[in-house]
Amino acid sequence: MAKLPADVRRNQLIEVAIAVASSEGIAAATTRRVAAEAGVAVGVVHYCFGTKELLMREVIRAIVNEILEASIDAPREGDSLRSYLSRAADAYCVAITRNHEKRRLTFELTTYTVRTDSARELGRMQYECYFEAARRFFVRAAEATGTAWIVSVETLARMLVAMSEGMALVWLVDRKTDEMRKVLATFVDQLLALATEAPDQQISTSADMLIEYGER
């Protein structure tokens, strides 16, 4: 067994756990199985993470970050709110269809955290990651396009997470990508109805909000 720096070894074990869980389910991703697939002693996994729940915490974090990076694009010069939201919707579709095994795993992880008392906090962490990313998305969208939301960013974030989670689950069942795109286009229209032109003061406030959310 080659000796690797601790952070490299941790990342390797996380990737192995994701691969096992994606192909065979959460139950298969035991510390013993992860160790065997990685070619290390099971004690190495326990040394790096301690328990399966702590390993799953890092699995959740890694998958959520990957999904968010793939589906949230930075604003471009000249973007209108519609163009920015529409591009984000397109990126979301691509992220789901290209990484459907990992997207399926996020739902399995959610079920695991709901069913496992010792893992309940992992489920809350998973969804707080979603909410935080959604908050940043809406603040960034308003700031970049000179608009303001007529409902709270928190409400918008929860709307987006609820819609995107439901849409992903439906797509995993029926694989109707064209229908998913139609639903997302309608959702963009609904979001536009919740926006208005922002005064200069509101735009600077949005920038402050972005810093606040980033420091949570």
Question: Are 86 and 185 contacting, i.e. CB atoms less than 8 angstroms apart?
Answer: yes
pLDDT at 36 over 90: yes
Specify the amino acid at residue 36: A
Which contiguous run of DSSP H or E holds residue 147?
strand 147-149
Q: What is the pLDDT of residue 201?
A: 46
In this structure, how many other beta carbons lie within 10 angstroms of the beta carbon of residue 122? 21
Cα distance between residue 62 and residue 66, in whole Å: 6
Q: What is the mean pLDDT of the chain?
A: 87
For the domain made up of 74-214, give the CATH fold. Answer: Tetracycline Repressor; domain 2 (1.10.357)
Percent of the chain whose pLDDT exceeds 70: 91
Cα distance between residue 147 and residue 200, in whole Å: 10
pLDDT at 213 over 80: no
Question: Are 131 and 138 contacting, i.e. CB atoms less than 8 angstroms apart?
Answer: no
Q: Give me the mean pLDDT over the 162-189 stretch.
A: 97
Q: What is the pLDDT of residue 52?
A: 85
Q: Give me the mean pLDDT over the 28-40 stretch.
A: 93
Q: Give me the mean pLDDT over the 71-99 stretch.
A: 88
Tokens of 81: 């709110």
pLDDT digits (tens, 9 = 90+) for 97-153: 988 888 999 999 999 889 988 888 989 999 998 999 899 999 999 999 999 999 999
pLDDT band (50, 70, 90) for residue 11? very high
Q: Give me the mean pLDDT over the 175-188 stretch.
A: 97
- Name which of 38, 9, 45, 26 is nearest 122 in CA terms: 26
Q: What is the pLDDT of residue 211?
A: 30
pLDDT at 158 over 80: yes
Question: Are 35 and 41 contacting, i.e. CB atoms less than 8 angstroms apart?
Answer: yes
pLDDT at 50 over 70: yes
- Residue 51: left if φ>0, alpha if ψ -120 to 50, beta else—which one? beta
